[in-house]
Structure 1
């Protein structure tokens, strides 16, 4: 038997960590405020660098007051800067448990609105059948490891990431909604939604924790706005 390959570990450089802290929560298309009169602005572009010339990174903004466009490297200061409005999500990933389909709420009909729907119920064993995992959820590392180590799961998620790329490349700009489905929504659907969120957000380091760092690399410089919603993750276990 061939031993399993160890999971790859990736780390960010100190410079990348510094740049991320300087950029803060700002996203392209969002509106923010420096905290003084006439300082509200929209982010037009973010160059994370690192660049050979100074500055090593920069952000391009358009100020609301006079419409002036400026590029600078002013870091985010949580003591005075504030979020006015984040941009709408480019991709929304929603995990659901099909045993809760009768529940009401904003995401009750999400399957009818899905661009891509992954049904994990028939092909991938439910961790619910294990007594030691039944009361746990995707918040727990052992559950995430169990789901991601299931043969075929990583391949399905890598293929889904390619689908997302395809939809985003289309000539008509429109948000993409991906729905991951399992029975109760606490294990398979939630874990795969977390993993896919890391991939599509271009977070290579986080995606590596799911064994999907290669799938995340094409998204690393896209600065996509990705929302993650768990419709049923924190609901009670359904006896079945």
Structure 2
């Protein structure tokens, strides 16, 4: 469908797209037509700069780092094209896109915001939910995997103390 046909179709009423940003460390991805896993292939501001840990994709410096990562803009444009295909398919309902990164605070939020901008520009009605942006930052390894904080605590304590603590119901 070219842009003219898309515009004509949207004239009968804008299609709705729901975008959900999330963090894999906070639970399963939401049900979606398209799920983008941004963990392994795109720059994580959290890993690049310690002062960005508490910031989110609503902050300009985080957005800059994410959007300047090679491939992100192209991925968002391709995702917008895929959304169009879903939205104008034979059983068109609300199309749901999930954007996920490790913690759901940086890459997922930034890309959800950028994708919403592209889709609004194309005439879609867009709803955006940032499921995990306000959740606590979870400790993780350099490759984005969750760190078992209880295990870290056990390794830092002398073995005898760990055994005593576990007996009385402490660190597990």
Alignment TM-score, normalising by the size of structure 2? 0.70
2:108 corresponds in structure 1 to 189
2:73 corresponds in structure 1 to 154
1:84 corresponds in structure 2 to none
What is the SS of the residue equivalent to 1:201? helix
Going from structure 1 to structure 2, the CA distance change for 1:123 and 1:160 (only over 3 Å counts) comes to same
What is the SS of the residue equivalent to 1:154? helix
* Matching of residue 95 in structure 1 with residue 21 in structure 2: yes
Alignment TM-score, normalising by the size of structure 1? 0.51
Equivalence map 1:38-187=2 (5 Å)? 90-101=16-27, 110=30, 113-129=31-47, 130-187=49-106
Asked if structure 1 preserves the Cα contact closer than 8 Å seen for 2:29 and 2:98, the reply is no
Quote the Cα distance in structure 1 between the aligned partners of 2:137 and 2:85.
Answer: 36
If asked which structure has higher relative contact order (CA below 8 Å, sep 6+), I would say 2
Quote the Cα distance in structure 2 between the aligned partners of 1:109 and 1:96.
Answer: 7
Asked if structure 1 preserves the Cα contact closer than 8 Å seen for 2:21 and 2:104, the reply is yes
Quote the Cα distance in structure 2 between the aligned partners of 1:239 and 1:200.
Answer: 34
Asked if structure 1 preserves the Cα contact closer than 8 Å seen for 2:45 and 2:53, the reply is yes
Quote the Cα distance in structure 1 between the aligned partners of 2:82 and 2:116.
Answer: 14
What is the SS of the residue equivalent to 1:194? helix
Figure out how many residues of one structure are paired with residues of the other and give that number: 129
Which structure carries more helix by proportion?
2
Structure 2 residue corresponding to 1:234, chosen from 111, 129, 134? 134
2:164 corresponds in structure 1 to none
Query: For the aligned residues, what is the CA RMSD?
Result: 2.0
Going from structure 1 to structure 2, the CA distance change for 1:109 and 1:128 (only over 3 Å counts) comes to closer
Aligned-pair CA distance for 1:225: 1.7
The 4+ residue runs of structure 1 with deviation greater than 3 A are none
Aligned-pair CA distance for 1:45: 6.5
What is the SS of the residue equivalent to 1:179? strand
Summarize deviations over 1:25-67 as a string: whole Å, max 9, x none: xxxxxxxxxxxxxxxxxxx968xxxxxxxxxxxxxxxxxxxxx
Aligned-pair CA distance for 1:90: 1.2
Going from structure 1 to structure 2, the CA distance change for 1:121 and 1:165 (only over 3 Å counts) comes to same
